[in-house]
Amino acid sequence: MRWLIRKARLLDPANGIDRKGDLLIEEGKIARVGGEIRIDGEVSEIEAEGMTLTPSFIDIHVHLREPGREYAERIETGVRAAAAGGFGAVVCMPNTEPALDTHASIRFVIEEAERWGPVKVWPAGAITQGRKGEKLAEMGDLVRGGAVAVTDDGDPVADSDLMRRALEYSKSFDIPILTHPEDKTLSRGGVMNEGVVSTRLGLKGIPAAAEEIGIARDLRLAELSGGRLHVQHVSTAYGAELVRRAKERGLPVTGETAPHYVALTDESLAGYDTNRKMNPPLRTSRDRDALREALASGVLEVVATDHAPHGIHEKETEFDRAPFGVLGLETSFAVMLTHLVRPGHLSLPTLIERMTSGPAGVIGKEHLGIVEGRKASLTLFDTERSQVVDPSRFESLSRNTPFAGERLYGAIMGLFIGGDRIEPVQPEESNTRFPLPLTR
Amino acid sequence: MKLSRKHLLGLEGVSRSEIETILNTAESFKEILERKIPKVPTLRGKTAVNLFFEPSTRTRVSFELAEKRLSADSVSISTKMSSSEKGETLVDTVRNLEAMKVDFLIVRHSSAGAAHFLASRIDVAVINAGDGCHEHPTQALLDLFTIRQKFGSFEGLKVVIVGDALHSRVARSNLWGLGAVGADITICSPPTFLAPGMENFGARIESDLDKAIQGADVVMVLRIQMERQGQHFFPSLREYAMQYGISRKRADSLKDSCLIMHPGPMNRGVEIAPDVADGVRSVILDQVTNGVAVRMAVLYLLSGGELDDAMAH
C-alpha cells in the first residue's frame, strides 16, 4: 500500500523541518518528502491541505490496567484510545494487579498489545517486587523482556537507600528510573492541593512540599548514584525549579508534566468533581503558569498524560473516597493546543517536540521523525477543527475526564504506522472511531 | 420574601438578605414554639428523611422536632456504618429514598461535598447537616439567630472564634454567615489549627487568646475532637486547656454583655471550663432552643414558603 499525503504542513522540529509539502509512504517507510510529489501507479492520495503532519506522538505515562482491573481499561481499549489521541507509542505503568515485576508479565503486555495493532506498547517494569518498596525487582530480566524503564509509579520508593541502589543498578541497563515523588507522611489523607481552595471546600490538602521533598531527595540520589532519573507528573512551580537547577548542574535528569496541570487549577474543584481528582493534585494558577514556562523553556521536555482509567462506579462517589486519576490519551493534544498553543503560551513546534522527540529521548528510543527511509510513524491533525469532548464516544473503557463538555481545538485526522493507516470514521459506520487494523 | 434556592448546602454565597429572610422566618416559628400546642400544619403531606452517616444527637433531634412541629412526616436513618460497609454506594442509598418520593433530605456525612454530591444527582431538596470539615449551615444560622436575639443587629459586633478552625465546619459556615451580615470576626487558634489561607476569609487571625478576646461581644468556642490528639496538632489536652481553653479567669475578663457560645458537644475542662459553660454569659442552651426554630424556617422556605405567610400562622 502506498499513501501520498498532499499539501500538509510537515512539522518535525527535532529535525528542523517545518514546511508545506507532500509525503509518500511506501512499504511502511517514508519514501519521499517533497514539495510536490508526482508518481505513477496506484497510490492512495490524502488531501491534507490546512492540516499538519508530524511524527506520531509518544505518551510515556499511561495506565492500561491489564492485568487486574479490566473493567476500567484493557490493553486493547487503551491502545485504541492511544490511536484516537494520535499516539503511535505509549509506556504503560507497572501498577497492575499483579504488578509488572517479572519478565513474564512484561512479555504478556507486549504480546497482548501486538494482537491489537500497530500502536507500540512499551511497558515499564516495577522498581521493587510487588511495588512494595522493600526489595529490588529483577531489573535485568525486566529489561530483557522489553521493559524500557522502571518505576513504582503510584507510590514513591520511600526507602532512600533502596532508591539509591535502584538508580545505581539501573546504570548497567541504560534505562531511566521514573520517579513518583511524594513524601507520604506529608500527603497522608489528602485529596486535593492544600491551599485557600481546600480550606474553602473543607477537603484535606496535599501540600506542594510533599511532592517537592520527594523531587529534591531523588535529585540528590541521582547525583549520588549517577543514575538516570525522570521526574513524573511535576505539578508545582518549585518542583519544576528543582529540575531546572539539577539540569544546570549537569545531572542526567528529565521531567514531565500532564495536560491537566497546565490547563486547570484547584479552583475548578469547587463542584467536588471527582473527575478532577488526581495525585499529585491540581495546583494553583501560579504553579500552572510556572509549568507552562517550564514546558516552553525545555526544563520539562515531556508532556505525558498519566492516563488513569477508573470505573464510573468508582468515581461516582464522595470526593474523599474516589480514586485518584483522570483519563488523558484521547484529549491530550487537543487540551494542549486549546489551552496552551492557541493562547500563545507554547508554540506548536515546541508542543510537538514535547510529545515526540522529548519522550523518545527519555526512554532511549530513536526519534523516527519525518526523514526519508525511516519507518513511517506519523500523526495527521487539523488545528482548526474543534469538537466538544463527549466521553461516551471515547475508545477508552472509562469516562473519567475533567474536560467533558468542553470544546477543544485539534482533531486527530489519522495515524500512519508502518504500512497501516488508522483514521477516524463516522459513528454510524462503526462502533469505534478509530478502528485498528488487526495484526493477529 | 421567598428563598430562591432549592437546597441549603452551605452559607458560602448566601446573601445578607437571604440570611435575614431565614432569621425573620425563624422569629415567627420561635413564637409558635412557645405556644401551648407548638405545632402548625404547614408541611402536612411533605416527607423528610434525616440521613445521618455520622453520630449526632443534637442536630438530628433538632431537625426531627422541626419537621414534626411543621407536621411533615419524617424518617431518621442513623448509621455509623459507611455506605461501603453495607455494600451500597451513597448515591444508590439516596436514589432508593428518592424512589420512595420524599421531599427533603437532611444529610450529615463525614466527607466534605457529600451534600453537594447528592444535590447534583437527585431531585429532592437537600439540607446539609454537616459535611466533613466543610459546612454546617443550619448551625451557623442558629448562631446568628442567637446573636441577633441578644444584640438586635450585627453591626460592629466583635465575634471571636476560638479553637480548631482547620477541621471545623461550624467555623467555616460562621465565617461566611457572620461575614455576610457585617460582623467583625477574629479567629484564635493554635497555628496548627489554622487552615491554609484562612487569613483571606475576612477574619483577623490572633493566636494569643487573651489578646483576641479583649473587647469581644461574642466568644464562639469550637469543640476539640479527641482524635486530634496524637496527630501532632497540640502536645496535650492539658496544654490546650491552658493556652486555648475559656477558663473562669478568662471569662471573668470579658465584658458583662459578652456571649459565650458552643456548638456542642462540649469537652468540659478542655476548650471550656465547666462553670463557664453553665455561667451567666453562656447562651449554649439558647442556641439549642433556637436551632429548632431556625431549622423550621429553612424547611419552610425551601419548600417554597414565604416569610409573610409564616408570620400569619
Structure confidence at residue A329 (pLDDT): 98
Same domain? A290 vs A382: no
Q: Looking at CA atoms only, how far is residue A198 from chain B in angstroms?
A: 8
Same domain, B159 and B263: yes
Q: Kindly state whether residue A435 falls inside one of the protein's structural domains.
A: no
pLDDT of residue B229: 79
Q: Is residue A400 part of a domain?
A: yes
A415 and A275 in a single domain? The answer is: no
Cα separation of A141 and A103, whole Å? Answer: 6
For residue B176, give the chain A residue with the closest CA. Answer: A200
**Exposure letters B258-269 (e unless 16+ CB within 10 A, then b):** bbbbbbbebbee
pLDDT per position as a tens digit, A113-161: 999 989 999 999 999 999 999 999 999 999 999 999 999 999 999 999 9
Interchain proximity A202–B114, CB inside 8 Å: no
d(CA B23, CA B7): 17
The answer to whether residues B110 and B201 belong to one domain is no
User: What was the pLDDT predicted at B126?
Assistant: 97
pTM of the model: 0.95
Residue B4 lies in a domain: no
Number of Cβ atoms within 10 Å of the Cβ of B121 = 15
Instruction: Assess whether B280 and B185 both reside in one domain.
Output: yes
Q: Are B130 and B154 within one domain? A: no
Chain B residues in contact with A317 by the CB 8 A cut-off are 89-91, 117
Question: What pLDDT sits at residue B90?
Answer: 85
What is the pLDDT, as a whole number, of residue B127? 98
Do B142 and B281 lie in one domain? The reply is yes
Domain termination residue (choose one: A315, A331, A362): A362
Does A204 contact B133 at a Cβ distance shorter than 8 Å? Answer: yes
Per DSSP, the residues of A223-274 read HHH---EEE----SHHHHHHHHHHHHTT--EEEEE-HHHHH--GGGGTT--G
**Interface with B, mutate which of A318, A319, A320 (most B CBs under 10 A):** A318
Please write the tens of the pLDDT for every residue from A50-61. Answer: 999 999 999 999
Q: Is B200 on the interface with A (CB under 8 A)?
A: yes
Q: What's the pLDDT at B308?
A: 76
Task: Collapse the DSSP code of B277 into the 3-class scheme (helix H, G, I; strand E, B; otherwise coil) and give the result.
Answer: helix
Tell whether B210 and B168 lie within a shared domain: yes
Residue B6 within a domain:
no
Q: Kindly list the distances between the CA atom of residue A428 and the CA atoms of A391, A421, A431, A433, in Å, as whole numbers in the listed order.
A: 17, 20, 7, 10
Residue predicted with more confidence, A332 or A427: A332
**How many A/B residue pairs have CB atoms within 8 Å?**
65
- For residue A201, give the nearest of B90, B113, B117 by CB distance: B113
Asked if the structure places residue B23 within a domain, the reply is: yes
pLDDT for B60: 96
Say yes or no to pLDDT of B2 above 90.
no
Average pLDDT value for residue range B18-41: 95
A265 close contact with B: CB closer than 8 A: no
The answer to whether residue B9 is domain-embedded is: no
Which of these ranges, B3-17, B91-105, B190-204, B299-313, has the smallest mean pLDDT?
A: B299-313
A281 in contact with B at a CB cutoff of 8 Å?
Answer: no
Cα B305 to Cα B313: distance, rounded to the nearest angstrom: 12
Catalytic (active site) residue A155: no
Kindly report the average pLDDT of chain A as a whole number.
96
In a domain, B11, yes or no: no
Question: Domain check: are A102 and A206 in the same one?
Answer: yes
Residue B37: per-residue pLDDT: 94
Yes or no, beta carbons of B120 and A271 under 8 Å apart? yes
Average pLDDT, chain B: 93
In a domain, B10, yes or no: no
Roughly how many angstroms between the first and final C-alpha of chain A, as a whole number?
19
Residues 6 or more apart whose Cβ sits within 8 Å of residue B57: B265
pLDDT tens sequence across A1-51:
899 999 999 999 999 999 999 999 999 999 999 889 998 889 999 999 999
What pLDDT, on a 0 to 100 scale, did the predictor assign at position A298?
98
> Could you tell me if A217 and A335 lie in one domain?
yes
Q: Which of residues 11-50 of B touch A (CB under 8 A)?
A: 12
Which of A303, A329, A362 is a domain's end point?
A: A362
Q: Are residues A44 and A65 in the same domain?
A: no
Residue A247 has pLDDT above 50, yes or no: yes
Q: Are residues A158 and A88 located together in one domain of the fold? A: yes
Per-residue pLDDT band for A438 (boundaries 50, 70, 90) equals low
Domain span holding position A30: 2-53+374-429
How high is the pLDDT of residue B81? 59
Could you say which of B116, B172, B197 has the minimum Cβ distance to residue A272? B116
Nearest CA distance, A390 vs chain B (angstrom): 19
Write out chain B residues lying below 8 Å of A321, CB-based. Answer: 84, 111
Query: CB of B115 within 8 Å of any CB in chain A?
Result: no
The answer to whether residue A205 neighbours chain B at the CB level (below 8 Å) is yes
Whether B162 and B276 map to the same domain: the answer is yes
Inter-chain residue contact A202 with B135, CB threshold 8 Å: yes
Which amino acid is residue B214, in one-letter code? Q
From the list A273, A233, A311, A333, the residue with the least C-alpha distance to A65 is: A311
Asked if A317 reaches chain B (Cβ–Cβ under 8 Å), the answer is yes
A186 touches chain B (CB under 8 A): no
Residue B2 lies inside a defined structural domain of this protein: no
Residues B296 and B280 in one domain: no
Instruction: Note whether B172 and B304 are same-domain residues.
Output: no
Rounded CA separation B217/B158 (Å): 5
Domain membership of residue A348 (yes or no) is: yes
Tell me, yes or no, if B71 comes closer than 8 A to chain A by beta carbon. Answer: no
Chain A nearest-CA residue for B90: A317
Say whether both A62 and A41 belong to one domain. Answer: no
What chain A residue is nearest to B135 in terms of C-alpha separation? A202
Distance CA A416, CA A83 (A): 10
Per-window interface: B 85-114 vs A, CB < 8 A: 89-91, 109-114
> A204 to chain B: nearest residue by CA?
B133
Q: How far apart are alpha carbons A7 and B72 in whole angstroms?
A: 72
Q: How confident is the model over B181-238, as pLDDT tens digits?
A: 999 999 999 999 999 999 889 999 999 999 999 999 999 999 998 878 778 999 999 9
C-alpha torsion angle, residues A274, A80, A18, A357 (rounded to 10): 70
Contacts of A199 in chain B (CB under 8 A): 172, 195-198, 201
Task: Give percent of chain A with pLDDT exceeding 90.
Answer: 93
The model's pLDDT over B266-297, given as tens digits with 9 standing for 90+, comes to 999 999 999 999 999 999 999 999 999 999 99
Q: Give the minimum alpha-carbon distance from B198 to chain A in angstroms, rounded to a whole number.
A: 7
Chain A positions in Cβ-Cβ contact with residue B195 (cut-off 8 Å):
198-199
* Cell representation of residue B272: 471550656
Catalytic residue among A306, A382, A390, A420: A306
Beta bridge partners of B286: none
Q: Closest by alpha carbon to A29, among A306, A323, A362, A420?
A: A420
Flag whether pLDDT at A261 surpasses 90. Answer: yes
- A395 pLDDT above the threshold of 60: yes
CATH of the domain at A253: 3.20.20.140
Last residue of a domain, one of A324, A339, A362: A362
Looking at the structure, tell me whether residues B78 and B170 fall in a common domain. Answer: no
- Domain range holding B307? 16-136+288-311
The count of domains in chain B is 2
pLDDT score of B307 more than 90: no
- The residue of chain A with its CA nearest to that of B114 is A318
Residue A287 has pLDDT above 70, yes or no: yes
Co-location of A84 and A34 in the same domain? no
Phi, psi of A62 (to 5 degrees): -135, 155
pLDDT at B100 over 50: yes
Domain total for chain A?
Answer: 2
- In terms of domains, do B35 and B115 share one? yes
Render pLDDT for B166-191 as a digit per residue (tens, 0 to 9): 999 999 999 999 999 999 999 999 99
Q: Are residues A125 and A225 in the same domain?
A: yes
CA B123 → CA A150, B17, B95, B117, distances in Å?
Answer: 49, 26, 9, 12
Match 453591626 to its residue by C-alpha cell.
B155
Residue A171 confidence (pLDDT) above 80 = yes
Tell me the pLDDT band of B69, cut-offs 50, 70 and 90. Answer: very high
Beta bridge partners of A2: A26
Task: Specify the amino acid at residue B276.
Answer: V
CA distance B140 to chain A (A): 16
A300-342 tens-digit pLDDT: 999 999 999 999 999 999 999 999 999 999 999 999 999 999 9
Of B91, B132, B201, the CB nearest to A316: B91
Residue A369 lies in a domain: no
ipTM > 0.85 for the complex: yes
The shares of helix, strand and coil residues in chain A, as percent rounded to the nearest 5, are 35, 25, 45
Query: Among all residues of chain B, which has the CA nearest to that of A206?
Result: B196
B136 at A interface, C-beta within 8 A: no
Q: Does A75 share its domain with A110?
A: yes
CA A199 to chain B, closest CA, distance in angstroms equals: 6
C-alpha cell at B75: 424518617
The answer to whether A196 contacts chain B (CB < 8 Å) is: yes
Q: Which residue has the cell 461575614?
A: B179
Q: Is A204 on the interface with B (CB under 8 A)?
A: yes
Does the pLDDT of residue B82 top 80, yes or no? no
The b/e string for A102-119 (b: 16+ C-beta within 10 A; e otherwise) is bbebbebbbebbbebbbb
Q: Is residue B8, in this structure, part of any structural domain at all?
A: no
**CATH number of residue B149's parent domain:** 3.40.50.1370
pLDDT given at position A431: 64
pLDDT of residue A440: 42
* Band of residue A275 on the pLDDT scale cut at 50, 70, 90: very high
B105 and B154 assigned to the same domain = no
Find chain A residues with C-beta within 8 A of B122's C-beta: none
Residue contact B12–A200, C-beta within 8 A: yes
Provide the 3-class DSSP secondary structure of residue B106.
strand
Q: Do B131 and A194 touch (CB under 8 A)?
A: no
Task: Measure in Å the smallest separation between the Cα of A208 and chain B Cα atoms.
Answer: 12
